[in-house]
Amino acid sequence: MVTSRGKDVVAVVPIEDVQLLEEIEDRLDLDEARAALASVKREGTVTWKKIKRDLRL
């Protein structure tokens, strides 16, 4: 750990750990994207025109 004024600011970790964290993040992103697509299939979408109207733009 590297600290600045008594607070941890940087951690030095093996590249394998960074790569693993990136893989986990990618999988979570993919799960969220799949859930969003499933939601669109179930609930449909809203037109830009309706959004602007609802926001009075």
pLDDT value of residue 29: 98
Q: How is residue 5 written in tokens?
A: 């004024």
Domain boundaries, the chain: 13-54
Q: How are the residues of the chain apportioned to helix, strand and coil, as percentages rounded to the nearest 5?
A: 65, 10, 25
Owner of token pair 């602007």: 52
- Residue 10 in contact with residue 1, Cβ under 8 Å? yes
9-57 pLDDT tens trace: 999 999 999 999 999 999 999 999 999 999 999 999 999 999 999 999 9
Question: What is the reported pTM?
Answer: 0.63
Beta bridge pairs of residue 7? 4
Q: In a 3-state reduction of DSSP, which class is residue 12?
A: coil
